[in-house]
Chain A
Amino acid sequence: MKYQSQSVAKLYFIAAIALFVAQILFGLIMGLQYVMGDFLFPEIPFNVARMVHTNTLIVWLLFGFMGSAYYLVPEESETELYSPKLAVILFWVFLGAAGATVAAYLLVNYSTLAAATGNELLPTMGREFLEQPTITKIGIVVVVLGFLFNIGMTMLKGRKTTINLVLMLGLVLLAVFFLFSFYNPENLVLDKFFWWWVVHLWVEGVWELILGALLAFVLIKVTGVDREVIEKWLYMIIAMAFITGILGTGHHFYFIGAPEYWQTIGSIFSAMEPIPFFMMTLFAFNMVNRRRRDHPNKAAVLWALGTGVMAFLGAGVWGFLHTLAPVNFYTHGTQITAAHGHMAFYGAYVMIVITMISYTMPLMRGRAACNSAASQVMEMWSFWLMTVSMVFITLFLTAAGIVQVWLQRYNDAPQAFMVVQEQLAIFYWMRELAGVIFLLGLVLYIASFFIKGEEATA
């Protein structure tokens, strides 16, 4: 760690990991509710558990992105952070807002919460992933603006690098597209159309810039490969991300009331969306193969390579699986979608945040380069447990999805939703078991932070 102010990232990463734990616990509750329908009913109905599961995911990834930026931007700019104090204040504001929102989800009826927070004045609630009360959404905007100001000022006074520029562009666009969450017309079709401007243009658009920049940063650090080479890769990856991903939004417009031409446009461009992710895989492996040094933080290198592979599998391959309009006609809104969502979020965004944590945390905790060998071994065990169990979660949900499509959709005598669900129980049980293994991996991951010992050498 070159600059003292970078260490503010530690707070953000600790909060991220804490919310990650909450996310997984609620995931397990939901998984159980799939097979034991009355589990925790009516105290924590499925829709509440799901809000907590998805909202904590989004918020902890935002914590992860912000923490990563607070670490990365000063180092790339070769200067101290503009205002570490502002970063700490915004941290507590964001954590307070996130904590209060989750507590409200669990303690208060959602309709009561909507009334209490004045949802009728500016209705934005009750839409998937955007369930937060309007006041929380405004809080998110304030925090993100303060954050952008802080890292923007840092960049202005220091060295300008491609990685910094791409990261900043990604974060600014993240804020810009979030503003569409405040647009909620009475017309459901318009609502859905522009809802995707937040959701798709985030995860299949501007977040890929953030992902690319963070991956490029860690690869420069752990491989010592020439910056020019890495930055050229970065530009090519994000170019392909936008060239395919912007019109790829069309794959969400097939069946929500938009004109049929989106089926052609969406199919063609979203079929190419795996390309930038495949380039990330090639990027990560190429750079590590051409490394000029053996970095002693083996765990961070493993997470970086893992991100390359799993992002391609989850976002790329599993996305392609159901993206063509004639296929999506049958798979739209089934467990196939859930399967893709799980591996894509884990492979792309969870893993890049953990990559950043893995690389930076030892440095922020006063080590020269990495944790002890014992700590790294445990962290690598957690990598394999979480990654392999996520592969199995995805496979079981995919199997459930295929059977669901067969019985409910692609059939001369289609069966009712709930009749089909009961026949999928075996897959849901296996998914839940894989989820327990995932939690075990997460526990090991956290435990690895507490293992002491001499710093490992390359």
Chain B
Amino acid sequence: MSSVFTKSTARNIFYGGSLFFFLVFLGLTMDTMGKLPERDHRENITPQVALGKKVWEDNNCIGCHTLLGEGAYFAPELGNVYKRFGESKEAITAFIKSRPAEGVPGRRSMPQFNLSDEELDAIAEFLKWSSEINTANWPPNIQG
């Protein structure tokens, strides 16, 4: 048995298997790219939503929060925060604005990022757009 199954057999399985499955992966990726527009509603990505994503990134929000379940696990999921906050962009911007600069004694608190009104509105729009992505009904409930 071991004389039949040689190192070159193993090598061929590696190269053949890897190539085959990578091509399948590429094919599925192509298919996904075709199907994404109706799931991510990219027609709603306004310049304001794009700016919101930039604000999200430039302040490293992912360092504490999850967004669609990915990120850090220190602070609440934000993919559905728009819905959790009663579909109110004002509630989101008011929360971000109200964070005390020196924190809350003994508790976790979001830093005060001193965002401009334009940035605040943009982040709220970005989170609203995010909440409308078709995520296969995730998260399981409104608490995220």
Number of chain A residues whose Cβ lies closer than 8 Å to a Cβ of chain B: 79
On whether the beta carbons of A46 and B13 are closer than 8 Å, the reply is: no
Q: With A and B bound together, what is the CA distance between A246 and B77 in angstroms?
A: 28
Contacts of A332 in B (CB 8 A): 69, 138-139
Contacts of A131 in B (CB 8 A): 60, 63
A441 to chain B, nearest CB (A): 25
In the assembled complex, B95 has its CB within 8 A of some CB on chain A: no
Contact of A126 among B36, B57, B66, B138 (CB under 8 A): B57
Contacts of B67 in A (CB 8 A): 188
On whether the beta carbons of B133 and A189 are closer than 8 Å, the reply is: yes
B125-142 to A contact mask, C-beta < 8 Å, 1/0: 000001001111011111
A199 to chain B, nearest CB (A): 10
On whether the beta carbons of A415 and B143 are closer than 8 Å, the reply is: yes
Contacts of B133 in A (CB 8 A): 188-189, 256-257
A52 to chain B, nearest CB (A): 10
Q: CB-nearest residue of chain A relative to B49?
A: A186
Contacts of B5 in A (CB 8 A): 232
On whether the beta carbons of A243 and B18 are closer than 8 Å, the reply is: yes
On whether the beta carbons of A232 and B10 are closer than 8 Å, the reply is: yes
Q: A38-B104, A42-B101, A246-B21 are in contact. Are A232 and B66 (CB under 8 A)?
A: no
In the assembled complex, A51 has its CB within 8 A of some CB on chain B: yes
In the assembled complex, A156 has its CB within 8 A of some CB on chain B: no
In the assembled complex, A454 has its CB within 8 A of some CB on chain B: no
Q: With A and B bound together, what is the CA distance between A414 and B143 in angstroms?
A: 7
In the assembled complex, A84 has its CB within 8 A of some CB on chain B: no
In the assembled complex, B73 has its CB within 8 A of some CB on chain A: yes
Contacts of B40 in A (CB 8 A): 187-190, 257
On whether the beta carbons of B143 and A37 are closer than 8 Å, the reply is: no
On whether the beta carbons of B60 and A259 are closer than 8 Å, the reply is: no
Q: With A and B bound together, what is the CA distance between A332 and B139 in angstroms?
A: 9
Name the residue among B42, B68, B77 with the largest chain A CB count within 10 angstroms. Answer: B68
In the assembled complex, A302 has its CB within 8 A of some CB on chain B: no
On whether the beta carbons of A42 and B103 are closer than 8 Å, the reply is: yes
On whether the beta carbons of B59 and A418 are closer than 8 Å, the reply is: no
In the assembled complex, A193 has its CB within 8 A of some CB on chain B: yes
Q: CB-nearest residue of chain A relative to B101?
A: A42
Q: With A and B bound together, what is the CA distance between A236 and B11 in angstroms?
A: 7
Q: A47-B72, A187-B45, A243-B17 are in contact. Are A257 and B135 (CB under 8 A)?
A: yes
In the assembled complex, B118 has its CB within 8 A of some CB on chain A: no
Contacts of B58 in A (CB 8 A): 110-111, 114-115, 119, 125-126
Contacts of B86 in A (CB 8 A): none
Q: A45-B111, A246-B18, A257-B36 are in contact. Are A128 and B13 (CB under 8 A)?
A: no
Q: Footprint of B on A, CB under 8 Å?
A: 30, 33-34, 36-38, 41-42, 45-48, 50-51, 110-111, 114-115, 119-120, 123, 125-128, 131, 162, 184, 186-193, 228, 231-232, 235-236, 238-239, 242-243, 246-247, 249-250, 253-263, 265, 329-330, 332-335, 337-338, 408-411, 414-418, 421
